[in-house]
Structure 1
Amino acid sequence: MDLCSLIDRNAAFAPDKTAIAFEGERLSYAAFAARIERTAATLKQELGVGRGDRVAILSLNRPDYLVLLYACARLGAMLVPLNWRLAIAEQLFILTDAGAKVLVLEQAFEGVLAELELEGTAIVGLDFEPPRGTTFEDLLARSEGNGRNPHTDLSCPLLIVYTSGTTGRPKGAVLRQEALFWNGVMSQHMHNMTSDDHVLTLLPFFHVGGLNIQTTAALQLGAMVTVHARFTPDTALAAIERERPTLTVMVPAIIQAVSEHPAWATTDLSSLKAVATGSTIVPPHLIDRFVARGVPVLQVYGSTETCPIAVYTRLGGDLSRAGSTGLAGLCCEAKVIDQAGNEVPAGAPGEIAVRGPNVFFEYWGNADATRDALHDGWYRTGDIGLCDADGYFWVRDRKKNMIISGGENVYPAEVERVLLEHPDVSECAVIGRPDPRWDEVPIAYVIRRSDCRLEADELKVHLQAQLARYKVPRDIVFVTDLPRTALGKVQHFLLKQLDAQSRAQGEAS
């Protein structure tokens, strides 16, 4: 049995039921299963994709994204979702690091092809014919044979999802098919999900949040999923009123955007039995906006490495503990540990660790990072939290130095690496600054090399060529010194305090 078998079984039980709705069109479970089978055959027969090969995709959300995921599951291959918000240089690093055998992309992102010189990578256009490749539909039309691979099961790796690297380079977290399966079981438990549910997917599929918190869980259960290519508050609210979904996931930035939209007060939300949220510490006032409209808000904690569901509050469960992200999931364990790995007493702060079949297998091609993260099956998240005597978790701080801007992870080390590539930058440090819209935005403190006249605008141009827009510092502050430890390491937490003091003084004056 592979993960795709669940789609086949749902197609057998309810062939005419809608699996995916997208831009006015509907794909039944029978049609979904058939397209997966044809795609798997195409990958196998036309492109030589087999067990262990990597298929990268650069696209907005669309049904064929999910078709490719399950086709890879059928073949024992791995899907590598590319974040379309990244700069081309970042996407090329991931393609090279993953050794993608195939790159499937939308025409909107064909700019990556001008710089792509990867030997042995086949190019497939989802909605166009690339100059050095073919269209997805043409491949499907000429495929023959079947897409079955007898050597696949739930133990096969299925996803390589790249996370921004604490060392300045992203790491590819490898998730097995079984991780998605058990993550789906926990999602179903969390949401009281049944095949009668209707999920509205607003988050991008290049994140495990958009892909796995509800979407794949719903498809594995035989529920319906409405997919939006990308989020906008007006289309999201219109879909809630018109399509009547029962479940959706919204990161805090999306909750803020929809709740501040002019149509918020008049939109009928009565179809929603719950909204799930996470990815960062969620401000209570945002939760209150949905609760005031009669919609429960469920919190979920996890990361790319946990697929992502690890800890959650459950629909029908205890939602009264303000700020709690809930209990360890139905199919995994979680605990709070000290630096030596020992579990701390109830209520004491420490690092959150997670163990279970939903936890990632390894970082692709990075044995050192894998050893640092996994200890006897426990994934050390790097997040600081506490667990009370009843098993409820609170997340107190995020991964050391990490910035979460609009639901996107920004690691200072990655931005600092690009800053230091500029010839006029001597030293630098990047921190997160609170922002009313994005939760946090990156800010750079920079020491210029002597006798240079580097200005902020010039440095931003340099950064924009290498980094996604959300990673480019909102403000660049030139300084002559940075706070450091006795060993010379920059103290980011002190820099954040100094930044806050500086802004407070500026507002006071």
Structure 2
Amino acid sequence: MNLTKQLHETALKNGSRTAYYFMGESCTYGELDGAVTKFASALADLGVKQGDHIALLLGNSPHFVISLHGALRLGATVVPINPIYTPDEIAYIVNNGDAKVVIMLDLLVPLAEKMHQSLPTVEHFIVCETLNGQAAQQGDSSISQSSKMKSFTRLLSEGSPHYQGPDTADHDAAVILYTSGTTGKPKGAILTHGNLYSNAKSVSDFLHMNENDIVITTLPMFHVFCLTVALNAPLLNGATILIDPKFSPKEIFKLAKEYKPTVFAGVPTMYNFLLQYEEGEAAALESLRLCISGGASMPVALLTSFEKKFNVVISEGYGLSEASPVTCFNPLDSPRKPGSIGKSIIDVENKIVNELGEEVKLGEVGELIVRGPNVMKGYYKAPEDTAAALREGWLYTGDLARQDDEGYFYIVDRKKDMIIVGGYNVYPREVEEVLYDHPDVIETAVLGVPDANLGEAVHCFIVSRNPQLTETDLLSYCSAHLAKYKVPTSIEFIDELPKNTTGKILRRALRNKLAAK
């Protein structure tokens, strides 16, 4: 079984059930499956074959869902790309990923016209129309001289509803996800049909997702967190997804009042925005049975404040692109531990090891490694990186963690982010947790900076709600709650922390900011 076969099975059994809501419109599983079949047929008519690569430059929309499953039904491999990347970033992924087709927003037509000569592998650009096709007509006229340009709507209308794609094996590549990385060019993690299906199945079973659930899908679909937890897992079990094109607290509360969703998945920054939104009423979220957090560690102070205000449990989990992505979640049928990423999910094994790959004692800090049917096939065209990450069947995550005697895991920090002050290890998250407890701190990020005497020192970026808050105030506060070597030596107030499209804080941008001084 794979994702697109399961979608077809659901359509056969429960074709009248609602698969998604989008911008006030709804679509049944029968209608969605029919669109997927026709789009797969249209791609085949363009000459796309099993094993070819198709890049998606799309936001949250039915276009993304249909394109994803249409490509998978054809046996092609999907390469999701953030549509707001720079031209250079897009060109690198399209070229490195050997994309034969690019499916994109109509707003990106001007960009494609400028870039298409630098994308030698691309044979077709498929433009997804908005505004009921008006933009498509304008787009068609502006690109009429390029035979590479095709209309998504036109292709969909011309596809055969009787198309049957080729058989695919569990080990066949389904998606190549390019990781953002902290240094160098992004690497493409090859996720197979077996990887994606197994992780979606494990997540949906672990979180008890069922056909009565309505899941808010506001995380970016091109990101692996959304792809599995808020898209694949719900559709696998016949649930309904509530597609939100772009996250905003105002829109989330509006959608929640109208559709009564049962599950919300987001990153800590989203929860912070929802908590800080002055017009956000607890009653609007009363239909939620579960909130899911991932993508970054959630400060305990934020978690407890959100749960207290909205009377809903947040299950924090952990994952990474190379693991499709989920490896841990706080279980729903046993105590949730604030600050923990929970226990290993179904069919996935987590372990903490030292530098020699030996398992450490309970409570000791080491590198988190993972194995299971969700672990990637490898990095695309990067055998050395693959060998470094995959060793003896285990995926080395690069994250430092510890495990307690009840099997709960705790992320201490990224291995590369650890600060060494005079020979002592300082984990940024530990300092951030203290700062988040301060009533005037909205957001914070902690980094190491060079120090002539101690090797490194602790530097903090702070977003404050109180313009009168001073560096002296915070240093005094930290001194009362942290060991001396963990106390920041410098604090910088800024209006906003830089974030990527999933809301994850961009430490690399902050490092560049420091380096520019």
Q: Deviations over 1:284-320 (max 9, x none)?
A: 122113321210000110111111110111223221x
Q: Deviations over 1:181-222 (max 9, x none)?
A: 111122113322111111011100111111111321010111
In structure 2, how many angstroms separate the alpha carbons of the residues matched to 1:77 and 1:268?
Answer: 41
Question: Residue 297 of structure 1 aligns with which residue?
Answer: 314
Distance of aligned partners of 1:318 and 1:379 in 2 relative to their CA distance in 1, 3 Å threshold: same
In structure 1, how many angstroms separate the alpha carbons of the residues matched to 2:187 and 2:363?
Answer: 32
Question: Residue 322 of structure 1 aligns with which residue?
Answer: 338
Question: Residue 174 of structure 2 aligns with which residue?
Answer: 158
> Comparing 257-266 with 243-252, which one deviates more in the overlay?
257-266
Question: Residue 476 of structure 1 aligns with which residue?
Answer: 513
The CA deviation at 1:275 is 0.5
In structure 2, how many angstroms separate the alpha carbons of the residues matched to 1:2 and 1:478?
Answer: 47
In structure 1, how many angstroms separate the alpha carbons of the residues matched to 2:187 and 2:201?
Answer: 26
Q: Deviations over 1:393-421 (max 9, x none)?
A: 000012413999xxxxx9x9xxxxxxxxx
In structure 2, how many angstroms separate the alpha carbons of the residues matched to 1:474 and 1:166?
Answer: 11
Amino acid at match of 2:189: A
Q: How does 1:390-401 map to 2 (within 5 A)?
A: 390-401=406-417
Amino acid at match of 1:126: C
Question: Residue 198 of structure 2 aligns with which residue?
Answer: 182
In structure 2, how many angstroms separate the alpha carbons of the residues matched to 1:363 and 1:230?
Answer: 30
The CA deviation at 1:435 is 4.1
> Does the alignment pair 1:284 with 2:300?
yes
Q: Deviations over 1:30-57 (max 9, x none)?
A: 0011001001111111x22222111111
Q: Give the secondary-structure state (helix, strand or coil) at the position aligned to 1:268.
A: helix
Q: How does 1:304-383 map to 2 (within 5 A)?
A: 304-319=321-336, 321-383=337-399
Question: Residue 107 of structure 1 aligns with which residue?
Answer: 106
Question: Residue 415 of structure 1 aligns with which residue?
Answer: none
Distance of aligned partners of 1:297 and 1:33 in 2 relative to their CA distance in 1, 3 Å threshold: same
In structure 2, how many angstroms separate the alpha carbons of the residues matched to 1:11 and 1:364?
Answer: 33
Q: Give the secondary-structure state (helix, strand or coil) at the position aligned to 2:316.
A: strand
In structure 1, how many angstroms separate the alpha carbons of the residues matched to 2:150 and 2:211?
Answer: 37
Question: Residue 119 of structure 1 aligns with which residue?
Answer: 120
In structure 1, how many angstroms separate the alpha carbons of the residues matched to 2:341 and 2:515?
Answer: 39
The CA deviation at 1:472 is 4.5
Q: Give the secondary-structure state (helix, strand or coil) at the position aligned to 2:236.
A: helix
The CA deviation at 1:475 is 7.0
Q: Deviations over 1:61-80 (max 9, x none)?
A: 00121112112221221111
In structure 1, how many angstroms separate the alpha carbons of the residues matched to 2:226 and 2:101?
Answer: 23
Pairing partner for 2:254 from 231, 238, 247: 238
Kept after mapping to 2: 8 A contact 1:85/1:469 = no
Q: Deviations over 1:361-408 (max 9, x none)?
A: 11111111100000122100000001122211000012413999xxxx
In structure 2, how many angstroms separate the alpha carbons of the residues matched to 1:217 and 1:266?
Answer: 27
Q: Give the secondary-structure state (helix, strand or coil) at the position aligned to 1:67.
A: helix
Question: Residue 10 of structure 2 aligns with which residue?
Answer: 10
TM value normalised by structure 2:
0.78
> Does the alignment pair 1:40 with 2:46?
no
Distance of aligned partners of 1:435 and 1:308 in 2 relative to their CA distance in 1, 3 Å threshold: farther
Distance of aligned partners of 1:469 and 1:103 in 2 relative to their CA distance in 1, 3 Å threshold: farther
The CA deviation at 1:477 is 4.5
Q: Deviations over 1:422-470 (max 9, x none)?
A: xxxxxxx9x9854448xxxxxxxxxxxxxxxxxxxxxxxxxxxxxx996
Amino acid at match of 1:169: K
**RCO greater where, 1 or 2, for CA within 8 Å and sep 6 or more?**
1
In structure 1, how many angstroms separate the alpha carbons of the residues matched to 2:233 and 2:406?
Answer: 27
> Comparing 350-359 with 394-403, which one deviates more in the overlay?
394-403
TM value normalised by structure 1:
0.79
Q: Deviations over 1:121-165 (max 9, x none)?
A: 111100134513011111122334854333313332111111123
Question: Residue 21 of structure 1 aligns with which residue?
Answer: 21
Count how many residue pairs are aligned between Structure 1 and Structure 2: 426
Amino acid at match of 2:83: W
In structure 2, how many angstroms separate the alpha carbons of the residues matched to 1:222 and 1:116?
Answer: 39
In structure 1, how many angstroms separate the alpha carbons of the residues matched to 2:27 and 2:388?
Answer: 43
Distance of aligned partners of 1:340 and 1:147 in 2 relative to their CA distance in 1, 3 Å threshold: farther
Amino acid at match of 2:312: V
Q: Give the secondary-structure state (helix, strand or coil) at the position aligned to 2:199.
A: helix
> Does the alignment pair 1:31 with 2:31?
yes
Kept after mapping to 2: 8 A contact 1:22/1:227 = yes
Distance of aligned partners of 1:432 and 1:401 in 2 relative to their CA distance in 1, 3 Å threshold: farther
In structure 2, how many angstroms separate the alpha carbons of the residues matched to 1:108 and 1:137?
Answer: 15
Kept after mapping to 2: 8 A contact 1:381/1:399 = no
Amino acid at match of 2:120: E
Stretches of structure 1 lacking an aligned partner (at least 5 in a row)? 405-409, 413-428, 438-467, 481-509
Q: Give the secondary-structure state (helix, strand or coil) at the position aligned to 1:175.
A: strand
Stretches of structure 2 lacking an aligned partner (at least 5 in a row)? 130-135, 419-427, 430-444, 448-455, 465-503
Distance of aligned partners of 1:241 and 1:316 in 2 relative to their CA distance in 1, 3 Å threshold: farther
Seq. identity, %:
29
Q: How does 1:78-117 map to 2 (within 5 A)?
A: 78-113=77-112, 114-117=114-117
Q: Give the secondary-structure state (helix, strand or coil) at the position aligned to 2:513.
A: strand
The CA deviation at 1:266 is 5.2
Kept after mapping to 1: 8 A contact 2:348/2:370 = yes
Amino acid at match of 2:395: Y
In structure 1, how many angstroms separate the alpha carbons of the residues matched to 2:106 and 2:166?
Answer: 34
In structure 2, how many angstroms separate the alpha carbons of the residues matched to 1:192 and 1:401?
Answer: 35
> Does the alignment pair 1:134 with 2:171?
no
Kept after mapping to 1: 8 A contact 2:295/2:318 = yes
